[in-house]
Amino acid sequence: MDSRILFGVQLIAAFICFCSCSLEKCHLSGKWENQHKSILTITNVKESTGTLMGNYVTIVSVKGNGTTANPESALYGVQDRGEQPTFAFTVDWSFAESKTAWVGQCFVDNKGRETLETVWVLRSKVDKQSDNWKATRVGMDTFKRVRNRPVDFTARVSAEDGTL
């Protein structure tokens, strides 16, 4: 009887480990939307090298009184090969003399929902070194995977606080 109990305990321990230790793989390819309704589309992830490419359409603008969607800008980046990979990508804005770099991690929750948690640094061009202090901005974005629904670019953004 002791061997059956021991076998049962081992079976339960293996099941618990399988359920709690196995993570669903988070895939970066696809369409993602952040809290400001900007759209990140990763179209090409090369698993062998970890490189990724895609495009970004921002609804947020540095200048003006808010904006609708800006033109699509190309992005390039890298990811690691883990189940919930870390990654980095950069965007060279096609409509402004600025660049933004994001670093983050892709997470899958216990219901299979994928989220990208990121920190970004934006660098804008300034005309003189004494204006360097105002050329860099830092922030955070959370992206959720877009699942077969149209994206509304008609929302406007407040220039003061970046909220809709």
Query: In this structure, is residue 16 part of a structural domain?
Result: no
Is the pLDDT higher at 137 or at 95? 137
From 4-18, 118-132, 139-153, the region with the lowest mean pLDDT: 4-18
Query: In this structure, is residue 9 part of a structural domain?
Result: no
Query: In this structure, is residue 162 part of a structural domain?
Result: no
Domain region containing 127 = 24-145
What residue has token string 């990763």?
42
79: which 2 tokens? 């990811």
Instruction: Check pLDDT > 80 for residue 67.
Output: no
What single string gives the DSSP state of each residue in 103-146? EEEEEE-TTS-EEEEEEEEEEE--SSGGGGGGSEEEEEEEEEE-
Q: Are 132 and 117 in contact (CB under 8 A)?
A: no
* CATH of residue 28: 2.40.128.30
pLDDT confidence of 71, banded at 50, 70, 90?
confident
Q: Which residues pair with 78 in a beta bridge?
A: 51, 88
Query: In this structure, is residue 6 part of a structural domain?
Result: no
Task: Give the Cα separation of 56 and 32 in Å (integer).
Answer: 10
Percent of the chain with pLDDT strictly greater than 90: 52
Query: In this structure, is residue 89 part of a structural domain?
Result: yes
Stretch 136-159: mean pLDDT, rounded? 70
Q: Are 133 and 106 in contact (CB under 8 A)?
A: no
Task: Give the Cα separation of 65 and 96 in Å (integer).
Answer: 16
pLDDT confidence of 103, banded at 50, 70, 90?
very high
Query: In this structure, is residue 85 part of a structural domain?
Result: yes
Query: In this structure, is residue 8 part of a structural domain?
Result: no
Is the pLDDT higher at 93 or at 162? 93
Is the pLDDT higher at 54 or at 5? 54
pTM of the model: 0.72
Q: How many domains does the chain have?
A: 1
Percent of the chain with pLDDT strictly greater than 70: 70
Query: In this structure, is residue 7 part of a structural domain?
Result: no
From 5-14, 29-38, 135-144, the region with the lowest mean pLDDT: 5-14
Using one digit for the tens of pLDDT, what is the confidence trace for 128-145?
Answer: 999 999 999 999 999 999
